[in-house]
Amino acid sequence: MNQERFFRALGQRVRQLRKKRGYSQEDMIYFGFSARHWQQIEAGRAITVTTLLRICEVFEVPMAKVVKNLDAGVYEKPTVEPPSRRRRS
């Protein structure tokens, strides 16, 4: 799974939610986020489930809606095949 791709897409979605509500990044301080942390979230840095729940609470949006379809295309097949097992005689 390409987690970086997932979190970049999540950051973009969170940015869209913030802008849709008319908030600036600095406004997010009011909701308990530091400006730096919020910038990192929108930049696609990995976040915890607790942070995701806080974001959902701020925007009054179900988590399922925030992450919907973000996993599309992030699952990758391994490029190296596992070694085959030898049978013992």
* DSSP code string of 34-71: -HHHHHHHHTT----HHHHHHHHHHHT--HHHHHTTTT
Task: Identify the residue with better confidence: 79 or 42.
Answer: 42
| 86 domain residue, yes or no | no
pLDDT band at 21 (very low <50, low <70, confident <90, very high): very high
Place of tokens 């997932």: 6
Instruction: Domain count for the chain, please give it.
Output: 1
What sign has the CA pseudo-torsion 38, 42, 47, 51? positive
| 12 domain residue, yes or no | yes
Instruction: Give the Cα-Cα-Cα angle 67, 49, 15 (nearest 5 degrees).
Output: 50
pLDDT in tens, 31-69: 999 999 999 999 999 999 999 999 999 999 999 999 998
pTM to 2 decimal places: 0.77
| 87 domain residue, yes or no | no
| 36 domain residue, yes or no | yes
**pLDDT for the residue 2:** 82
The range of the structural domain enclosing residue 9 comes to: 3-67
